[in-house]
Amino acid sequence: MSENELLEHKRHTLAHLLAAAVMKLWPDTKRTIGPAIDNGFYFDFEFTHPLSEKDFGKIEKEMRKLLPTWTSFERSELTSDEAKKEYPNNQYKHELIDEFTADGSKVSFYKSGEYSDLCRGGHVENPKEEIASDSFKLDRIAGAYWRGDEKNPMLTRIYALAFDTKEELDQYIAMQEEALKRDHRKLGKELDLFTFSDLVGSGLPLFTPKGTVLREEIHTFSQALRTSRGFQKVWIPHITKTDLYKRSGHWDKFGDELFLVKSQETTDEFVLKPMNCPHHTQIYAGKNRSYRDLPLRFLETTAVYRDEKKGELSGLSRVRSITQDDSHVFCRPDQIEVEYQAIMNMVVEFYKVVDMKFRARLSFRDSQTPEKYFGEESLWDMAQEKLETIAKSGGFEYFIAKGEAAFYGPKIDFMATDALGREHQLATAQLDFVQPARFELTYTDSDGTEKTPVMIHLAIAGSLERFLSVYIEHTAGAFPLWVAPVQVKILPVSEKHNEYGASVFATLKNAGIRVEIDDANESLGKKIRNAKKEKIPYLFVIGDKEVEAGTVSVENRDGSEGAQELSVIVKSLQEKIIARS
């Protein structure tokens, strides 16, 4: 058994222990399910009284009292009727038992100490010896619909953290505390980056001037990378007839996620576009193409719209209005490798600048669920083989994830790691043999025959909203100079220094540097504290000496740089901004 499997078994064992403690304390509780999860486990209950986190101490005490009595797990099998007797008046367990015994089979129960529960297994053999009593901690309470269905009753879910040792648990808790400080929703408000409005709607973020600077700088960088490699800007409307997505296959796969648009002039059905690729195929189809025209590279940074469930929306991480730095390459099969190499070079450069390491996930088709994918199996096999060859030749760390492919083709997803060690799927490069065929796209080859091009879908930042949710937390809001909404704050010591401060402001503004001046009648200490709360990269302090010498006193995040001539520091800042450092 691997270490990961053993930890998962410990966590599932602890879920049993949590349920045992709850049933000891509140015997009339209805228990349901309790799986292991990435950082611990949870268990869903229906209580006859309100439960709060104030009860956690009592529950944990009972769990630690029971643990020494759990020296083994005994497995038994019961018929449907026998199993239901174990859960009088518990409709949740009865529902599961009916499902598991529909074919006439028995169900398995596992017992440790005095506690027994319906379970398929996955426990440690001797909980007393294998689980440290200080390696777990109840974490929080949440509401959860039975089986995730909003039509079902709401249950009380108790989440818990569990690791192999107390040290690992403490490290995780410390990381979570740091994550709370870095939460992009919290920092977005504190740094005045974005907001939401009930009048506008859930999942539809509104970006302030400062937040818009962030968006534009990321977009500008992504666009510069693409245009330097031969991508050309295109533009498409935000609505389309449903016919486009029925042809592409998106309607069958994602029809319930689309926003419908009703026309007062025509009977045609329209939707807000949920993706851009079908539109770009129609730009390709707008004229006859030759093999000499390929590759064609289209780029666009534009919004798409998806009717996400309200309960799944979360800050900028999951929104209904999604801005993609979207690109599509139409090429011949013999050009795939060269195009992918250029894409990988762009991704490497982008994530080096934003200071995030990444590895490649080869998202492949799951042969066990062929109904999820379009296109011939032979094409998929060829495409997947090509992507793995490309990943190997690029020298990337990569892993294969079956079942993560798009319905139209396999892809290389780039998994970026943030400052807290969390992994996020951001950039992607998807190989598509299906949509060009569905739209009957062709080019005339050198021998005069009509061939079907290959399509590559590319996003470098991916969703700008999601990227920013990650990047804000990665930097803790202390953005590098090039992307910072305000790059310099001028702090006159007193009102008599405001005039010179205004001239410094004008010089910086004319030099293309984003600058603010705090000329309020406040103490210098307060001005510095406020500027540091705003996490501004450079502070220029101006007092008598600076006015007299025509200099500024410079302080960056690492400390004081001392007095400098204005022309010298301006040139230095410009060089750093251009270099995106």
Domain containing residue 7: CATH number? 3.30.980.10
How do residues 181-195 score in pLDDT, each as one tens digit? 999 999 999 999 999
Residue reference for tokens 């026309």: 263
Number of domains in the chain: 3
**Enclosing H/E stretch for 181:** helix 166-182
Same domain, 136 and 275: no
How do residues 242-282 score in pLDDT, each as one tens digit? 999 999 888 887 778 889 998 888 888 899 999 999 999 99
As a residue count, the chain comes to 581
Residue reference for tokens 């998106």: 250
Q: Is 506 helix (H, G, I), strand (E, B) or coil?
A: helix
Nearest-angstrom CA–CA distance, 255 and 307: 10
| Residues pairing with 30 in the sheet | 46
Contacts of 99 (CB under 8 A, 6+ apart): none
pLDDT at residue 215 in the model: 96
Q: What is the mean pLDDT of the chain?
A: 94
For CA atoms 502, 506, 508, 514, give the dihedral sign.
positive
CATH code of 375's domain: 3.30.930.10
pLDDT beneath 70, residues of the chain:
1
Strand order of the sheet with strand 115-118? 74-78, 107-112, 115-118
In a domain, 413, yes or no: yes
Long-range contacts of 532-535 (CB under 8 A, 24+ apart): 533/190, 534/191, 534/486, 534/489, 535/191, 535/476, 535/477, 535/478, 535/479, 535/484
In a domain, 148, yes or no: yes
260's tokens: 């419908």
CA 30 → CA 25, 252, 451, distances in Å? 12, 39, 63
Contacts of 44 (CB under 8 A, 6+ apart): 31, 32, 33, 34, 144, 146, 155, 156, 157
For 92: left if phi > 0, alpha if psi spans -120 to 50, otherwise beta; the answer is alpha
In a domain, 203, yes or no: no
Cis bond upstream, residue 485 (ω within 30):
no
Same domain, 261 and 347: yes
Same domain, 434 and 493: no
Classify strands 423-432 and 411-417 as parallel, antiparallel or unpaired.
antiparallel
Same domain, 551 and 413: no
Nearest-angstrom CA–CA distance, 58 and 386: 57
Same domain, 375 and 345: yes
In a domain, 200, yes or no: no
pTM of the model: 0.85
Same domain, 168 and 316: no
Same domain, 278 and 130: no
pLDDT at residue 407 in the model: 83
pLDDT at residue 485 in the model: 98
Domain final position from 441, 473, 505? 473
Same domain, 452 and 497: no
How do residues 15-66 score in pLDDT, each as one tens digit? 999 999 999 999 999 999 999 999 999 999 999 989 999 999 999 999 999 9
In a domain, 189, yes or no: no
Same domain, 127 and 216: no
Same domain, 323 and 443: yes
In a domain, 193, yes or no: no
Range of the domain at 405: 209-473
Nearest-angstrom CA–CA distance, 193 and 211: 4
Same domain, 394 and 432: yes
506's tokens: 């004008």
How do residues 314-365 score in pLDDT, each as one tens digit? 999 999 999 999 999 999 999 999 999 999 999 999 999 999 999 999 999 9
- Which residues are marked as active site? 277, 306, 324, 326, 328, 411, 457
Residue reference for tokens 């709850």: 22
Same domain, 448 and 534: no
Nearest-angstrom CA–CA distance, 172 and 181: 14
Domain final position from 446, 473, 500? 473
pLDDT at residue 368 in the model: 83
In a domain, 480, yes or no: no
